[in-house]
Amino acid sequence: MGSLRRNHRPGGVPSGRLSEVVWLSLRLGVTAFGGPAAHIAMLRSEVVDRRGWVGDAHFLDLLSVTNLIPGPNSTEMVIHVGYERAGWRGLVAGGLGFILPAAVITLGFAWLYVRYGTTPAGDQMLYGIKPVVIAIVVQALWSLARTALKGVFAVLGCVVVAALYLARVHEIALLLGGGVLALAGWAGRSGVRDPGTAIFATLPIVQWPVWATEATAGPLVSYGHMRIFLTFLKIGSVLYGSGYVLLAFLRNDIVDRYGWLTEQQLLDAVAVGQFTPGPVFTTATFVGYIAGGFPGAVLATLGIFLPAFVAVAVAIPLLPRLRRMAWTRAVLNGLNVAAIGLMAAVAWTLGRAALVDGFTTLVAVVSFVLLLRFRLNSAWLVLAGALLGLGATLFS
């Protein structure tokens, strides 16, 4: 008992848990390649399979809620898990640990870009990394589906969602549709004639966290680069779904409205965001540096990620209350089925782009077997894939 107390810091959070969150988020920020779906799969491998911080069912609940709030999904999942493991300090530490390594790497590429007028290709490493990423996503999909898809109708719903997503139906519409259908099924089974009244009678009252009010009150910057900060704050507040939707938002404001970058510079910025590890939203760091130097990079990064912390802080009090009510349990189950369908569609799309020959297919299959059979650390597999990609392209 004494050792347990010595391991606690003021506030009741075990110091070991906070350090675990910091270490894991930093490592993911350096090794998580492949976009949001891959990041979430790697996070699941670490916190469900290897560490047992949360179960698959709860991980799916977090993922469903994350899909319904604006901001970068994978970053918000790391923030959620940080809170689950180490409270409010874990929430902040997890998010910063995941964002900062990618932002620093992207800032370095932006400096090289301004100085030399080009970006590193990264194609050689990505050639070997992409099939490993596909294996990670498929392994996570397999495990999550075993938890979420209970019954024929759930499987059918998952397939329909995946097909509609591939037919370019918006992901938010599909998620909401899954929740509404699940709610209708609950009302039918429960004999509820007026589900609207039953729902509003049980809605929880959400209190805004005090720390969030304090963190967002008052001026963040005073002069100069306020427009950069506000532009990216707006994008981070309204952008739903994956980081790949970011391009359309950036083009509208950065190229057409303000003329901070040319079309080619914007494409280069997005390319850097794709082949660097961590959240794709660190593209904002690159754009901010081009538009306003180092202060612009800092403010753009702060602006685009700040809404994610606030959104998760607001969502946290909702989840346990929602799980206690029958109708919201049904909605969350429907959202989980839809989330699995979306993940399957993304895996299919990424797989077609990544598995381009026998070598990449072999890397993906071997990686999947190693993950499924031995539960290897996905970060080491990503690094191995990068080395294999370099070797294959050098000797081809």
The CA distance from 239 to 111, in Å, is: 27
Residues 6+ apart with CB under 8 A from 250: 235, 266, 269, 270, 283, 287
Q: Give the residue, 118 or 135, on which the prediction is more confident.
A: 135
Q: Which residue has the higher pLDDT, 167 or 133?
A: 167
Confidence at 190, pLDDT banded by 50, 70, 90: low
* pLDDT tens profile 85-107: 999 999 999 999 999 998 999 89
**pLDDT of 315 strictly over 80:** yes
Residue 322 has pLDDT above 80, yes or no: no
* The pLDDT of residue 219: 37
DSSP 289-301: HHHHHHHHHHHHH
What token pair was written down for 186?
């609950």
DSSP codes of every residue in 150-195: -SHHHHHHHHHHHHHHHTT--HHHHHHHHHHHHHHHHHHHHT-S-H
Determine the 3-state secondary structure of 11 from DSSP.
coil
Give me the pLDDT at residue 122, please.
57
pLDDT score of 103: 93
The per-residue pLDDT for range 8-21, each reduced to its tens digit, is 444 455 556 889 99
How big is the CA angle at 180 (ends 174 and 186), to the nearest 5 degrees?
A: 140
Residue 142 has a pLDDT of 83
Higher local confidence (pLDDT), 326 or 138? 138
Mean pLDDT of 343-352: 80
Give residue 147's pLDDT. 72
Mean pLDDT, residues 247-273: 73
On the question of pLDDT at 213 being above 60, the answer is no
| Rounded alpha-carbon distances, angstroms, from residue 300 to 3, 102, 119, 297, 360 | 43, 14, 20, 5, 36
pLDDT above 80 for 22: yes
Instruction: State the average pLDDT over residues 245-268.
Output: 73
Cα 199 versus chain centre, distance: 29
List the single range of 147-151, 288-292, 294-298, 384-388 with lowest mean pLDDT: 147-151
Cα–Cα distance, 152 to 159 (Å, whole number)? 11
Distance CA 142, CA 136 (A): 10
**pLDDT level of residue 250 (50, 70, 90 thresholds):** confident
Q: Which pLDDT band, with edges at 50, 70 and 90, does 6 fall under?
A: very low
Q: Quote the mean pLDDT of the chain.
A: 76
Span 32-89, pLDDT tens digits:
876 777 788 889 989 998 888 988 888 888 887 787 777 788 899 999 999 999 999 9
Query: Where residue 223 falls among pLDDT bands split at 50, 70, 90?
Result: very low
Q: Quick one: which of 237, 235, 238 has its CA closest to 254? A: 235
The model's pLDDT over 371-386, given as tens digits with 9 standing for 90+, comes to 888 877 666 787 788 8
| pTM over the 0.75 mark | no
**Across 163-172, 199-208, 321-330, least confident range:** 199-208
> What pLDDT was estimated at residue 376?
73
